[in-house]
Amino acid sequence: MNENPFEDPQQPPAGPPRTSGKAVASLVLGICSFFFSILTGLPAIILGALALGDIKRNPQVEGKGMAIAGITTGSIGTVMLLGCVALLLPAVQAAREAARRNLSMNNMKQIVLAAHNHESAYKQFPKASGNMRGEGAELSWRVHLLPFLEQQALYDQFHMDEPWDSPHNKTLIDQMPAVYQCPNLVGQPGHTVYLAVTGPNAIFFSDDMGATFQSIRDGSSNTIMFVEADPSEAVPWTKPDDWQCDPNNPTAGLGGIRPGVFLAAFADGSVQAISNDIDPATMHAMTTRNGREVVNR
């Protein structure tokens, strides 16, 4: 017989206090979040919150301190990941840009070498358009360098007596060799920003005869052959359309791809990053092959 007439006969006697398993798991996962970050940090926060709810509803459940500690450590571990990402992201972006820049410089070096081999074979550099036989007057020098870029098969597909945008030649634009593809230029298939420096006194000009090494009186290390132009200056790679220096604004159309600099390939085979703030007179002097200007760099 129940000796206490006031005790609810259906209410079980209170047992000993017990520790919340969720609180324990929250603390363990929270500590692990220092090593596994959000993978264990987020579960630690969730389990800790659930444990606090259980403890609040049931006084016999203990472990409030562990639940709070689990939430705290889980939050710290998760925030540490976000902090690391914030710190590493600029470094990752810088590394990617450095890789793209190195690839672009390598492309330009190959183009210069091909131009050198063209000069060695024909005793002159290619003209801004056309070839040594007077054919292909409306095809870019980029087409006529193909045999010197291990692209003889592609070169043979062109109709040299037709312009770059003839029905046949236009079908070859999509076959642009990788060496003409700037890694920073996206969304413009068949287009290139590797442009020759053209003009009356440049290495590339539209005369009956192309320039020779002997005609570079200003020194090959002081004479720019090719530039990496802005994306807005991109042209179909077969089109005889290039970059000409404006004496009043010598860097117009340049410097829009890389922070503070643009790439330029010189007649000696070197590729250099040139500051966008270069002295205008110096820049103009480097675009001529025999202007006899003094180049101060």
Predicted confidence at residue 136, as pLDDT, reads 45
Ramachandran angles phi, psi of 103, nearest 5°: -65, -40
Predicted confidence at residue 12, as pLDDT, reads 52
Tell me which DSSP letter residue 289 carries.
S
Predicted confidence at residue 10, as pLDDT, reads 55
pLDDT in tens, 228-278: 999 999 999 999 999 988 888 989 999 999 989 999 999 999 999 999 999
pLDDT in tens, 196-235: 998 778 887 655 567 888 888 888 899 999 999 999 999 9
Please state, in angstroms and rounded to a whole number, the distance separating the CA atoms of residues 186 and 67.
51
Q: Is the dihedral of CA 140, 189, 245, 297 positive or negative?
A: negative
pTM: 0.71
CB-based contact 136:143 (threshold 8 Å): yes
Tell me which DSSP letter residue 59 carries.
T
CB-based contact 241:253 (threshold 8 Å): no
pLDDT in tens, 143-160: 999 999 999 999 999 998
Burial (CB < 10 A; 0-12, 13-18, 19+), residue 200, is: exposed
pLDDT in tens, 63-121: 888 888 888 988 888 888 778 778 777 878 888 889 999 999 999 999 999 999 999 99
Residue 132 pLDDT class (50, 70, 90 cuts):
very low
